[in-house]
A and B are shown apart, each in its own frame.
Chain A
Amino acid sequence: MTQNLDLTDIQGNIIKAYGAYNYQKARYLFLRIDKGDKGRKFVGAITTKVTSAVPWEKSSKDTDSAVKPQATTNIAFTFAGLKALELPMASLRGFPEDFIMGMAKRKDILGDDGPSDPQNWDNIWKEEVHAWISINGQSIDAVIKRYDWVLEQIKASDGGVTLLTGHRGENGEDDLPYQDASVLYDATGTPTPKEHFGYTDGIGDPVFEGQINVSARVLGRGKLTREGNWEPLATGEFLLGHVDEAMEYPQTAPAPWLLALNGTYMVYRKLHENIGTFNRFLEEQSKHFPGSKEMLAAKFAGRWRDNGAPIVNAPDDESKERWDKQYAEADEAGRKKMLTDFTYNQDITGAKCPYSAHIRRINPRGSLEYGVKDAYDTPGALVNRRRILRRGLPYGEVKDATRDDGNHGIIFMALNVDIQRQFEFIQQQWINYANDFKEGNDKEVLLGNHDANNPGKVVLQVEPGSGKPPHFVSKIPRLVETRGGDYFFIPSITALKLIAAGMVDPT
Chain B
Amino acid sequence: MSNIAGKAYAMNVITPIRWYMVWINRLIFKIALNRPSTLKGLITLSLIHYARWVIIPRNAFPRLDENQPKEDLNYAYMLFFSNFNGSWDQYVDSFTFAIPAGLDLFWKWNVRYPKSVPLTPFHDYIRHNQIDTAHYYNAYPMAASNDVKSAKKVKKALIDFNAVSSDKAPDDFLKDYNKLLNDLQLQLGEMKPTPIVSLSSYEVKKRYEQTQTH
Which residues of A are in contact with B by a Cβ distance under 8 Å? 106, 108-109, 111, 245-248, 251, 349-350, 368-370, 372, 374-378, 381-382, 384-385, 420-421, 425, 428-429, 432-442, 454, 456-457, 459, 461-462, 464-470
Contact = CB atoms under 8 A, between A and B. Distances in A.
A375 B197 CA distance: 26
A440 B119 contact: no
B178 A420 contact: no
A111 B195 contact: yes
17 contacts: A106-B199, A109-B197, A247-B118, A368-B46, A372-B44, A375-B44, A377-B41, A377-B98, A385-B93, A428-B195, A435-B85, A436-B47, A440-B189, A459-B188, A464-B183, A466-B182, A468-B178
A435 B143 CA distance: 10
B117 interface: yes
Contacts of A456: 190, 192
Q: Which of B40, B98, B190 has the most CB of A within 10 A?
A: B190
B7 to A, nearest CB: 8
Contact of B97 (A382, A435, A465): A382
Contacts of A428: 195-197
Given A375-B98, A420-B89, A428-B195, A440 B146 contact: yes
B117 A247 contact: yes
B195 A440 contact: no
A370 B44 contact: yes
Q: Which of A247, A439, A464 has the most CB of B within 10 A?
A: A439
A438 B148 CA distance: 11
B134 interface: no
A429 B93 CA distance: 14
A439 B89 CA distance: 22
Closest 8 CB pairs of A and B: A440-B189, A248-B118, A439-B189, A246-B119, A441-B192, A469-B181, A470-B185, A375-B44
Contacts of A457: 190
A435 B190 CA distance: 10
A384 B186 contact: no
B210 interface: no
A163 to B, nearest CB: 32
Contact of A434 (B90, B98, B189): B189
B41 A375 contact: yes
B147 A377 contact: no
B175 A467 contact: yes
A170 B119 CA distance: 48
Given A109-B196, A349-B185, A440-B190, 8 more contacts: A377-B97, A381-B97, A428-B196, A433-B194, A438-B150, A440-B192, A454-B192, A468-B182
Contact of B189 (A251, A374, A438): A438
B120 interface: yes
Interface string B124-155: 00000000000000000000101100100000
Contact of A470 (B41, B182, B189): B182
Contact of A459 (B41, B97, B185): B185
B144 to A, nearest CB: 5
A440 B147 contact: yes
B110 interface: no
B44 A369 contact: yes
Given A435-B46, A462-B185, A385 B97 contact: yes
Nearest to A425: B90
B15 interface: no
A460 to B, nearest CB: 9
A435 B6 CA distance: 14
A224 to B, nearest CB: 13
B195 A382 contact: no
Contacts of A442: 189-190
Interface string B82-101: 00011001100110111111
A248 B182 contact: no
Nearest to A441: B192
A467 B86 contact: no
A492 B98 CA distance: 33
Contacts of B120: 246, 248, 251
A245 B117 CA distance: 10
Interface in B176-214: 177-179, 181-183, 185-197, 199, 202
A246 B93 CA distance: 9
Interface string B27-49: 00000000000001100111100
Contact of B98 (A376, A420, A465): A376
